[in-house]
Structure 1
Amino acid sequence: MQCVTSTAFGPAELLHRLRARGSASTVSPITHIERMPPRSGRTTPWPAWTEPAVRDALTAQGIVAPWDHQAAAATLAWEGKHVVLATGTASGKSLAYQLPALNALTRDPKATALYLSPTKALAADQLRGIARLGLDGVRPATYDGDTPREEREWIRQHARFVLTNPDMLHHSLLPGHARWGVFLRRLTYVVIDECHTYRGVFGSHVAHVLRRLRRAAARYGSLPTFVLASATSGDPAGTASRLLGLPVTAVTEDASPRGGVTFALWEPPLLPASKLSLPTQPGPESAPESPADPDGFVDVELPPIRRSALRETADLLTDAVVAGTRTLAFVRSRRGAEVVATMTRRALDEAVPGLGERVAAYRAGYLREDRRAIERALLSGELLALASTNALELGVDLVGLDAVLICGYPGTRASFWQQAGRAGRAGNEALAVMVARDDPLDTYLVHHPEALFGRPVEATVLDPSNPYVLGPQLCCAASEAPLTNDDLELFGGEPAAAAARALAQQGVLRHRPSGWYWTHRGRPEVDLRGTGGAPVSVVESATGRLLGTVDPASSHATLHSGAVYLHQGVSYVVDNLDLEDAIALVHQEEPDWTTHARDVTNLSVVDVRSYVDAGPVGLFLGEVDVTNQVVSYQRRRIGSGEVIDTRPLDLPVRELRTVAVWFTVSPEALVSAGVEPADFPGALHAAEHAGIGLLPLIATCDRWDIGGLSTANHADTEAPTVFVYDGHPGGAGFAERAYGTAADWLRATREAIASCVCEAGCPSCVQSPKCGNGNNPLNKADAVKVLDTVLAALPPA
């Protein structure tokens, strides 16, 4: 098969061709075009401390001289200062940490270095880059869950540059620190790549894993220098310091060259208005004045909806492939990536038989061999386009991409810039298009481009003091070696000491004059990523073939009996979900319907940490208990979205103690604002949905990281209340961020609702795809009145 490796169209012409697809509509789907001009690079001579062998190896790879920011960060690290380099995608961050690490390994034949990345693919990519240098004695090796057992002992004894991930550090290297003693004794540099991904609960766990690493290294007599690499982010030095528990210097001025990038914000068109015929109800309402037809039915006009962002992205990806453009489409969900790839393949095969084979899906949950095969096919040019989750957002070296499609705002500006930065090669022009979902935040952004292009990137949110993180991590540390008072200072001071005392009262730790001891034989079971346990395996019943895995937090909603599961474009229906054995049995089927889970949530206030008394309005931050149960699912017709039926489910209740932000409004203030008591539930519910949708604008979270509840009279607050809570035990820092910036958050929420063109509420403003009540009741107009009342009472900051 002939591989197309270059685009026949530049970004401007390709964008014109894509725009032509929507020309049938009177309104252009492009709401904004942002042009980022090309930038020339600034180089500097190799630092004087660079070993000749390292310089020669890098020069042989075409690196004649480092960029200014590479040399600045590398020199700080060589001088023993902890440093974070926060520059754009493809700015050459790898050289900044490779240079001091390889220099140390070349100069001292006993020195070692450790590299940590959030994904196996990124570590494998780094290994290829280091191995290509051909430096004698460096002996790089990846050490992860895919490493064969027979290789692990060789790596422990002989590898000097070990590339791994936080999970492996937590589960294997630190618990087995005695076997790694020689490596730790000689540890000189620790590289933490893509450190902006360590946020929320995962980031809080990783912060303690790194403190455990520092403790273990010190135990063996080494004090390594930490070098962190990050996408452009707000306050990178502060975030890196929270992650390490050490002062960190930031280098943020990007001196690398960049080709011009054209950004387009794309809003799918509204679908033609549709009507639903409903039977009239007997009684006065259907008297002679009723609009019912002679058969006793009345036509009800449905709220307007936009064309699916998935279908729009698939069409744009199809056009890009036909134009010969190497394109990567980022899709928010695993299922969405599969759907986009499937629709694109079908459309291409209709146009040019066989062309659909040049497109594939890529996501987490695939087996290792499947992921590696797709990566090789993309790098070789065999594949022309991919529909991927954010699994390919990070710094894997994807050469030859000309365009990126972003299906739905990825949740943070940091991720938006990371994904857009995947386009462009060798300084050539590139195109990035963000296709808005029918979602409050996406709609807000495509009509307020200054929120994307005119603001700094968010600061990464993590909270190492979260007791649900701190306690288990102290247990891990104590199982590795008894905790001393100095160790407790390392892990946070008084909060760590209080947690240790509580663990001792529970009998988990035992306090002796020499320290705190782990009391059990086995190791503590701690899940770094907060997924709630082992992943659920998806197995084909007829063959026993393992198709993939799903995290347990999502399994109730996505793998319940009767659910439709997609894998590589093939549909399967779940026969049985066995939660005890973490396995879902499925059979292949192509139904003409999809499934959508429905749940019930209850919430009670445990403790108030902080509050603002604003007269008729109260703003609170505190701990809450949340119970949630998936109780049923709807089957909806593909294409029309028609609800076929609702079927009950018998799944266990899930309990969560977490952190929430909430506001209360007195009934009198709502009535004064024109909201009648009967409309309280719909007004508060609509404000809650929009608030959840807009929170990612100010915090590094995804709407799926948070939940909410609204009620006209909550038992604990005795007032109309809207809650928004972190979806992780103990909280992840998102609610605190919302509390601290409540005025900005709620003002953007109010504007998103008020500016939406719909009359009664739609997915672009107040409807939510994750609502357990089927988006009922909702009152768009009164939600604006609720938020106006809250904003009028709250202080501006």
Structure 2
Amino acid sequence: MAATVVPEDAPDRGALILDRLFADASRRRCVTHVEHVPARVGTRVPWPVWADPVLVSRLRAAGIDEPWSHQALAAEHAHGGGSVVLATGTASGKSLGYLMPVLSDLLAQASARALYLAPTKALANDQLRAVRALNLTGVRAATYDGDTPASERDWVRAHATFVLTNPDMLHRGVLPSHRRWAAFLRGLRYVVVDECHGYRGVFGSHVAQILRRLRRVAARYGSTPVFVLASATVSDPGRSAGRLTGLDVEVVEDDASPRGATRFVLYEPPLITPWQPPAPPEPSRPRPYPAGRHPAGTQPAGSEQPAVQSTPSMQPRRSAVSAVVAPAPAGMGPAGQGESSIHGHAGASVRRSATAEASDLLADLVADGVRTLVFVRSRRAAEVVAQSARRALSDVSRDLVDRVAAYRAGYLPEERRALEADLRSGRLLGVAATNALELGVDVTGLDAAIITGYPGTLASLWQQAGRAGRNGQGAVAVLVARDDPLDTYLVHHQEALFGRPVEATVLDPDNPYVLGPHLECAAAELPLTEADLDLFGPVARTTVDDLVRRGRLRRRPAGWYWTHRHRPDVDIRGVGGAPVRIVEASTGRLLGTVDAATSHSTVHCGAVYLHQGSFYVVIEFDLDVAVAFVEADTPDWTTWARERTDIRVLDVARSRTVGEVALHLGTVEVSSQVVAYQRRQIVTGRVVGEEPLDLPARHLRTRAVWYTVTDGLLAEAEIDEDDVPGAVHAAEHAAIGILPLFATCDRWDIGGVSTALHPDTGRTTVFVYDGHPGGAGFAERGFLRGEPWLRATRDVIAACECAAGCPSCVQSPKCGNGNEPLDKPAARRLLEAVLRRLDPVGAGRDTSS
């Protein structure tokens, strides 16, 4: 075995960037911790004896003299006929681990076929480029996705030996038309599932059932493909991969690739003082929240909403920076305010937004010639960061302005391809991107990664940080904290980031809301048989019986048949229907798309829409045809949608009662409706108007965890009747912000409702629910870890230095009622009283220090 050493100058590159970036004392004061991730040598091994010699020669010509040992080990497992998951770090060369056996077999057998599944089109196109660059005439590789012209699809089905697609196209385009794919399926030898750690929650459960449908259809054509999965470093990758595929999977997780030194910076933006309104009349006594409190016994309308209402998505790609997603206005003024723009109590100190800080960091890095990728949480934020950085760079060099761009979903295919090419070539020095560029796109030579807000999981955090330094050089990664309880907690508790194992990928293929529709799809593809039920899991039999009772399937001697002429309609990403098209009214030009689930918040009539640095205002939103018509404008305000939410308890699965506190897990129905929007000035955040909206309500049946408290406990916590709504509302916001620390989820995957008196419980109640039909397991993790979850919630409130509540503790970036009412001191007293019942030993232990 030969050892490869990282270049000696790699660590110095990161140190130089760090010194220049934080040369200013005021910026250095925002750094809470710098973690040094040391360089690592790599271990190479000889090429496998079975590897095709032409392939090996092409790889050597591309600069790969020998594979790393983990690549060779995974390739040996796959070539030997065993399914395998390769779970190693970012930029560890996982693609070579599956390309060795796949391409060798395609070159050796003319009838062999392989299928590659990627979570994004960008990654599939990147892999296609890499395969074609090897110039292997015996391998006919092609993408098959929504961007593939109809004229090319027949060629792909008939002639391609290596088809690169995504789970959506497999679900909607390949499996329903399997007879047209008969030759391909008959020769199917390998199925590659790239970036499989991204298939989690409800989306992951859908993908698991799609893979079972693929295995079933392939078996009917006589093939039993080997599954090769590539994953970021996760906890227990074998179990996760096994649940995803339904197979026993070998695990390769010892990373033998070299790595340059990385300096990982935790950065908390500074406090600022927001706009001051005219002084109101002096109140009789100070209150911790504005007037207009809800009377006891009513639900505050400010209950926090999930990113998606009726059929949410698992993708962590939407956030409050979207032009009109409740609640934070996305600033575009000179200060570049964005994610947590000024929306707190008048005169209270809030932190400068993470997007504003990221914009400044990006501009400084680009000015120094540092190739930088900024990850943001929303499409809107990508536009904001790129535009703010370009504006700052215009004072330095006009040439640099054109070397910064935004990259996000919703762009047209040709726009995305051009941006990807410019980023790879180095023409672009700085890119602000959503997590579409988190997953595997091979961009070498990047020097820095800026992560704007904790992305929800450690796996995603390390994926994004690993985009920098991909050619073995030293690099810098910066986590810029949002004004959010979890971000605040993490930048002051570095051990929660650097001392923890990466999470396991959580998915539940047996979720009946997922399994039932896929059994319908399977029956529509080929009649279901008794033998098929084992493939679909232990609850398939009862689910099939239920579908028969409901008239969805019909039993015949040969099996179960789909009863309708139309195909089952299953939305695997939970986006609630077809994307809404954004059309410029004056020209008919298609600007982009937005998913249906967030369209009520983002493209309602009057909403501000931002596309590639240009502002538009929605003049008409046609729900029937899923089109939002816009016209170009330059408003000095942005829009903020307001939502109303109700929740109903349908059943209680598990409960635990300790004195005056009861903790429950069960099924609920959440009803939400966008009822109005506010116009807020960009620079000051001041509300300049509110308009009602007439949009239909959306309903979500899901799982929730909730706790109830008695009037006696409220009295013990010294919470007056008038203060109850503010106390429970603040406690709800903080609990939602902290739950991702205990469950593999994102704040945008969950929602909450708090009420002083709920009709179904008869008590003061705080709900936190999964933002996905049928649930995704997040609420259950909250129930199982109730004491540490609520203790961390109490701790983050106690540790925050603000007096009346801020986005770092109890204000929410997606509150549908503008963060009113909120009572931070009362929320802390409430949680302390709750913990004295649930966790009397640890109640007084403060984990915030």
TM-score (norm 1): 0.94
Q: Structure 2 matches for 1:149-168, cutoff 5 A?
A: 149-168=150-169
Q: Which residue of 2 aligns with 1:396?
A: 441
Deviation at 1:359, TM superposition (A): 0.5
Distance 2:11 2:496 in 1: 33
Amino acid at match of 1:410: P
Percent identity at matched positions? 61
Q: Secondary structure at the match of 1:178?
A: helix
Residue number among 781, 792, 799 corresponding to 1:755 in the alignment? 799
Distance 2:642 2:153 in 1: 46
Q: Which residue of 2 aligns with 1:636?
A: 680
Distance 2:471 2:156 in 1: 36
Q: Which residue of 1 aligns with 2:648?
A: 604
Amino acid at match of 1:600: R
| CA displacement 1:145-190 (0-9 Å, x = unmatched) | 1122222222212211111111111111111111111211111111
Question: Are 1:663 and 2:707 counterparts?
Answer: yes
Amino acid at match of 1:635: R
Deviation at 1:285, TM superposition (A): 7.6
Distance 1:281 1:756 in 2: 27
Q: Secondary structure at the match of 2:685?
A: coil
Question: Are 1:474 and 2:519 counterparts?
Answer: yes
| CA displacement 1:283-324 (0-9 Å, x = unmatched) | x789xxxxxxxxxxxxx9622111111111111111001111
Deviation at 1:786, TM superposition (A): 2.1
Q: Which residue of 1 aligns with 2:808?
A: 764
Q: Which residue of 1 aligns with 2:4?
A: none
8 Å Cα contact 2:584-2:591 kept in structure 1: yes
Q: Which residue of 2 aligns with 1:292?
A: none
Q: Secondary structure at the match of 2:42?
A: coil
Deviation at 1:274, TM superposition (A): 5.7
| CA displacement 1:426-459 (0-9 Å, x = unmatched) | 2111011111111111111111111111101111
Question: Are 1:728 and 2:731 counterparts?
Answer: no
Distance 1:569 1:708 in 2: 34
Distance 1:377 1:275 in 2: 44
8 Å Cα contact 1:7-1:324 kept in structure 2: no
Q: Which residue of 2 aligns with 1:269?
A: 270
Distance 1:301 1:91 in 2: 49
Amino acid at match of 1:518: W
Could you tell me which runs of 5 or more consecutive residues in structure 2 were left unpaired when the two chains were aligned: 1-8, 287-344, 843-849
Amino acid at match of 2:720: E
Distance 1:169 1:647 in 2: 43
Distance 1:629 1:325 in 2: 45
Runs of 4 or more, structure 1, over 4 Å off, are 6-9
Distance 1:256 1:690 in 2: 40
Q: Structure 2 matches for 1:349-364, cutoff 5 A?
A: 349-364=394-409
Q: Which residue of 1 aligns with 2:621?
A: 577
Amino acid at match of 1:473: H
Question: Are 1:562 and 2:603 counterparts?
Answer: no
RCO higher in structure (CA 8 A, sep ≥6): 2
Deviation at 1:13, TM superposition (A): 3.0
8 Å Cα contact 2:275-2:685 kept in structure 1: no
Deviation at 1:594, TM superposition (A): 0.9
With 176-185 and 32-41 compared, the bigger mean Cα shift is at: 176-185
CA 1:273–1:362: 2 relative to 1, 3 Å: closer
Q: Secondary structure at the match of 1:188?
A: strand
Amino acid at match of 2:89: G
Amino acid at match of 1:19: F
8 Å Cα contact 2:10-2:261 kept in structure 1: no
Q: Secondary structure at the match of 1:525?
A: coil
8 Å Cα contact 2:11-2:262 kept in structure 1: no
Distance 2:654 2:458 in 1: 29
Question: Are 1:510 and 2:554 counterparts?
Answer: yes
8 Å Cα contact 1:211-1:491 kept in structure 2: yes
8 Å Cα contact 1:233-1:458 kept in structure 2: yes
Distance 2:558 2:684 in 1: 68
Residue number among 638, 651, 660 corresponding to 1:616 in the alignment? 660
Q: Secondary structure at the match of 2:44?
A: coil
Distance 2:361 2:491 in 1: 17
Q: Which residue of 2 aligns with 1:16?
A: 19
Q: Which residue of 1 aligns with 2:384?
A: 339
TM-score (norm 2): 0.89
| CA displacement 1:399-423 (0-9 Å, x = unmatched) | 2210111111111111110000000
Q: Which residue of 2 aligns with 1:329?
A: 374
8 Å Cα contact 1:8-1:323 kept in structure 2: no
CA 1:618–1:141: 2 relative to 1, 3 Å: same
8 Å Cα contact 1:9-1:325 kept in structure 2: no
Q: Which residue of 2 aligns with 1:259?
A: 260
Residue number among 461, 480, 483 corresponding to 2:506 in the alignment? 461
| CA displacement 1:717-764 (0-9 Å, x = unmatched) | 111111111111111222122222222322222211111110110011
Distance 2:158 2:518 in 1: 27
Distance 1:84 1:151 in 2: 32
Deviation at 1:7, TM superposition (A): 12
Distance 1:368 1:227 in 2: 28
Q: Structure 2 matches for 1:374-389, cutoff 5 A?
A: 374-389=419-434
Question: Are 1:488 and 2:489 counterparts?
Answer: no
8 Å Cα contact 1:85-1:93 kept in structure 2: yes
Q: Which residue of 2 aligns with 1:682?
A: 726
8 Å Cα contact 1:7-1:402 kept in structure 2: no
Residue number among 743, 750, 764 corresponding to 2:787 in the alignment? 743
Q: Structure 2 matches for 1:696-715, cutoff 5 A?
A: 696-715=740-759
With 326-335 and 500-509 compared, the bigger mean Cα shift is at: 500-509
8 Å Cα contact 1:7-1:326 kept in structure 2: no
Q: Structure 2 matches for 1:26-105, cutoff 5 A?
A: 28-105=29-106
**Number of residue pairs the alignment of both structures matches:** 775
8 Å Cα contact 1:7-1:325 kept in structure 2: no
Deviation at 1:8, TM superposition (A): 14
Q: Which residue of 2 aligns with 1:407?
A: 452
Amino acid at match of 1:358: R
Q: Secondary structure at the match of 1:504?
A: helix
Deviation at 1:83, TM superposition (A): 1.0
8 Å Cα contact 1:404-1:431 kept in structure 2: yes
Q: Which residue of 1 aligns with 2:831?
A: 787
Distance 1:698 1:779 in 2: 25
Deviation at 1:196, TM superposition (A): 0.9
| CA displacement 1:518-576 (0-9 Å, x = unmatched) | 11122111111110000000111111111110001111111111111100011111111
Distance 1:413 1:489 in 2: 34
Distance 1:279 1:262 in 2: 48
Q: Structure 2 matches for 1:278-293, cutoff 5 A?
A: 278-280=279-281
Distance 1:776 1:639 in 2: 22
Distance 1:281 1:440 in 2: 31
8 Å Cα contact 1:7-1:323 kept in structure 2: no
| CA displacement 1:105-142 (0-9 Å, x = unmatched) | 22322111111101111111111111222234221111
8 Å Cα contact 2:201-2:506 kept in structure 1: yes
| CA displacement 1:191-219 (0-9 Å, x = unmatched) | 00000111122111111100000001111
Residue number among 735, 760, 774 corresponding to 1:716 in the alignment? 760
Q: Which residue of 1 aligns with 2:206?
A: 205
CA 1:354–1:674: 2 relative to 1, 3 Å: same
8 Å Cα contact 1:9-1:323 kept in structure 2: no
8 Å Cα contact 1:19-1:28 kept in structure 2: no
Q: Secondary structure at the match of 1:278?
A: coil
| CA displacement 1:346-399 (0-9 Å, x = unmatched) | 111122233211100000000000001111111122211101111111101112
| CA displacement 1:630-679 (0-9 Å, x = unmatched) | 11111111121111122211111111111111111222123223333332
Q: Which residue of 1 aligns with 2:597?
A: 553
Distance 1:377 1:24 in 2: 34
Amino acid at match of 1:489: D
Amino acid at match of 2:760: D
Deviation at 1:16, TM superposition (A): 2.7
Q: Structure 2 matches for 1:128-207, cutoff 5 A?
A: 128-207=129-208
Distance 2:278 2:143 in 1: 62
Amino acid at match of 1:138: V
